[in-house]
Chain A
Amino acid sequence: MTERYLELVCPAGTPAALRAAVDAGADTVYCGFRDCTNARNYPGLNFDPDELREGVAYAHARDCKVLVAINTFPRAGDQAPWHRAVDQAAAAGADAVILADLGVLDYATRRHPALRRHLSVQASAANAPSILFYRDHFDVKRVVLPRVLSVREVAALVGETGIETEVFAFGSVGPMSEGRCFLSSYLTGLSPTSEGACAPASHVAYVERGGEVLSRLGATTLNTFARGEPAAYPTPCKGRYVTLGRASYLFEEPVGLNAIAILPELKAAGVTALKIEGRQRSRAYVTQIVGAFRQALDALARGETPPPSALSGETEGGRETFGAYQKGWR
């Protein structure tokens, strides 16, 4: 029996990060266009069509695949940018597009039937019938599973659906069902679902008051820090709120996902690919994280136990979690 190969899918926020990920041992990189069609629409990131074509050539020359995330939801009356992005990904020779919107999936299926389609985590398909719906109607070949599932649930979905699954292994954790969270637009007016930017920097402020620093998103204070204490980025689901007279990280602690220690369990669950989150992160970060996962996966493939991770300082807030993979997270 041949052991299933675990594919390492890595973030490429910029052409430089793409080359860094490929050089550090990525099997696959994923990226997006420099506009609202992808869920990391931040200044200074992403690709234009020429850069994508060059990135695909660089990756393909090194046996690495390129996926293009077109995973936001088009605004009514303005669907052309999303359709154009699908056309451009196909023209650039991308190996697959990662889609979420029913309309964009429909467009890609009809217009580019030969272009492989993956279902984005933004589609929030967390159960077998949903996954089968996308498979039956759009011939989706792979689903990126929401970060709300335990390892046991992941294994059950793999068994029930028989299609490729990709799970998050490192990076940010959001506790909310992806693609259906309106907290950031509630506070800023800019929509992660259609504009691709959660907690955009343009709406972030750090305000000194007394001995404290308040972190704000829009006009809303999401946390306070002592002066000199590192102030975490104000993402709505990572803020502190007061309920029943007590301030707490009500939704999620400021921690990052690191599943490197449970790679054997994820492999046994039958997942096809591991995803590293972080298209907004630096090239050096990409090199380090991808390299560490490459080592761990190679060790696993040789039947060895992956070496202990030296990545904990790199996770959000410097603290790590197994997220929903771990019992009791809920």
Chain B
Amino acid sequence: MSARPPSRLTLGPLLFHWSGQKRRDFYFRIADEAPVDAVYLGEVVCSKRESVFAPFRDEVIERLRAAGKDVVLSTLALVTTARDVEEIRELVAEGHTVEANDVACLQVLAGRPHVVGPYVNVFNERARDFVVGHGATRVVLPVEMPATSIRTVADTSTGTEIEVQAFGRLPLSVAMRCYHARAHNRTKDHCQLVCGLDPDGLTAETVDGVDVLTINGTQTLTHGHGVLLTELASLQAGGVTHFRLSPHDLDMVRVASLYREVLDGRCDGAAAIEALRPLTGSVPYVNGFLHGREGLAWVGRP
């Protein structure tokens, strides 16, 4: 039996809109305390937020690198303006490792090594082979993929790293329209970054009172946290190399520690779920996509 390299834990890009200072403090603590191997920085959802973190970005990168963490810069999931494209060109020109979240980024990268993010559809082996042939060294799979498909793509991906999101609300869609602005009766042009009021997003309920979705500017996410803990061992065995924790406004250092313990076999997945619950309040957990079910389902240990 060939030994697999130890599984890596990553902190995905912050999807929500936090102030620059809050972001800096958050990442400093991650650098100092969180057992994650790589940290993704950068704005995925809305270009209007980008300037907020810019003054702090370089010191955060430096602090993370000094702590031994790889830094990857994530790009927008929906690129439409010339300015968006220019931002990508600058990131690439600066020599950063980039997570491509729109095919535009692949064109700018022109074959340089990179990570393909979960917003670029790589659902099968041939699509994976294509992006690998054009410089992808790691592919973060779409959140919708079931375990059977993940294992098929991961198990045959010689040398290419495969990442899946294992914690946090799962991104379901991106749009040009801003739903945070709509919820506040504002237009996108005059949004005043109202999304900043909700550090974990804004809950959308059904008309009969069930929390179902989370609004984050132009992005829509699940209401529940995606939680893969009892599934980690089989995904590891199936060839998944990286597990992503998506940042939320809670103790992410503790979350990272719990996941690390499960990946290392020092803690049972079910026990980790119980340890996780006090950190996440009343927000339910979902893992239906992984089990080939509706994404909002929670499939307990079989």
User: Interface of A with B (CB < 8 Å)?
Assistant: 73-77, 79, 100-107, 123-130, 132-134, 136-137, 148-149, 153, 156, 175-177, 179-183, 185-189, 191, 193-194, 214, 218, 220-224, 237, 239-244, 246-248, 250-252, 324, 328-330
Contact = CB atoms under 8 A, between A and B. Distances in A.
Rank and list the top 5 A-B pairs by shortest CB-CB distance, nearest first. A103-B126, A186-B295, A129-B107, A76-B149, A76-B152
Contact of A126 (B80, B178, B220, B295): B80
Given A241-B206, A248-B183, 12 more contacts: A76-B123, A76-B145, A103-B124, A104-B126, A106-B129, A107-B126, A129-B107, A130-B104, A156-B82, A180-B173, A247-B207, A330-B178
Contacts of B66: none
A185 B144 contact: yes
Contacts of A324: 176
Contacts, number: 221
B233 interface: no
Contacts of B188: 330
A214 B102 CA distance: 37
B192 interface: no
Contacts of B130: 102-103, 105-106
Interface string B115-131: 00001011111111111
Contacts of B149: 75-77
Interface string B10-45: 000000000000000000000000000000000000
B124 A75 contact: yes
A102 B139 CA distance: 14
9 contacts: A102-B127, A123-B103, A148-B78, A176-B174, A180-B77, A181-B173, A186-B294, A188-B294, A193-B144
Nearest to A148: B176
Given A182-B143, A186-B296, A330-B188, A79 B207 contact: no
B107 A177 contact: no
A188 B148 CA distance: 18
A148 B175 contact: yes
A221 B210 contact: yes
A194 B123 contact: yes
Contacts of A77: 124-125, 148-149, 152
Nearest to A329: B177
B89 to A, nearest CB: 9
Contact of B103 (A75, A107, A130, A191): A130
